[in-house]
Amino acid sequence: MKISLFEKTGGAILDGLEAAGGTIRLLANSLYWCKAAPRYRSGIVNQMDVIGVGSIPVVGLVSIFSGMVLALQTGLELSRFHVEEMVGSIVAVSMFREMGPVITAIIVAGRVGAAMAAELGTMKVSEEIDALETMSINPVRYLVMPRVVGLVSMLPVLTIFGILIGIGGGSVIASSIMDVEPQVFFQKGVDFLSHKDVFSGLAKSVVFAFLIASISCYQGIKAKGGAEGVGKATIRAVVLSFLFVLIFDYFLTRIFY
Partner 1 sequence: MIEIVDVWKNFGKKDVLRGVNLKVKKGCTTVIIGGSGAGKTVLIRHIIGLFKPDRGDVFIGGISVPNLNAEELEKVRKQFGMVFQSGALLNSLTVGENIALPLMEHTNMSVDEIMKVVGEKLRMVHLSGIEDESIANLSGGMKKRVAVARAIVRNPEIILYDEPTAGLDMVMARRVENLIGDLKERLGVTSVVVTHDIGGACRIGDRIAVLSEGEIVEAGSPEEIMKSKTPAVRRLVYGNSDHCILRRGA
Nearer to partner 1, 132 or 172 (CB): 132
Give whichever of 127 and 191 is closer to partner 1, judged by the CB atom: 127
Taking the complex as a whole, the smallest distance from the CB of residue 20 to partner 1 amounts, in Å, to: 22
Asked if residue 128 binds partner 1 (CB under 8 A), the reply is: yes
Alpha-carbon distance values, 158 to 75, 162, 209 (Å) = 26, 6, 11
The conformation of residue 96, written as its DSSP 8-state character, comes to I
Contact characters 74-113, partner 1, x per CB under 8 A = ----------------------------------------
Q: How far apart are CA 218 and CA 143, in angstroms?
A: 11
Query: 3-class DSSP state for residue 139?
Result: helix
Maximum distance among all alpha carbons in the chain?
A: 70
Distance between CA 93 and CA 63 in Å, rounded? Answer: 14
Tell me how far apart the alpha carbons of residues 149 and 210 are, in angstroms, rounded to a whole number.
9
CB of 10 to partner 1, least distance (A): 18
- Please, which residue, 43 or 249, has the CB nearer to partner 1? 43
* Contact positions with partner 1 (CB under 8 A) in 129-168: 130-138, 142
User: Residue 225 region, left (φ>0) first, then alpha (ψ -120 to 50), else beta?
Assistant: left
Q: How far is the CB of 106 from partner 1 (least distance, A)?
A: 27
Given 27, 112, 123, 223, the residue binding partner 1 (CB under 8 A):
123
Min separation Cβ 232 and partner 1, Å: 18
Tell me phi and psi for residue 223, to 5 degrees: -65, 145
Residues that bind partner 1 (CB under 8 A): 123, 126-128, 130-138, 142
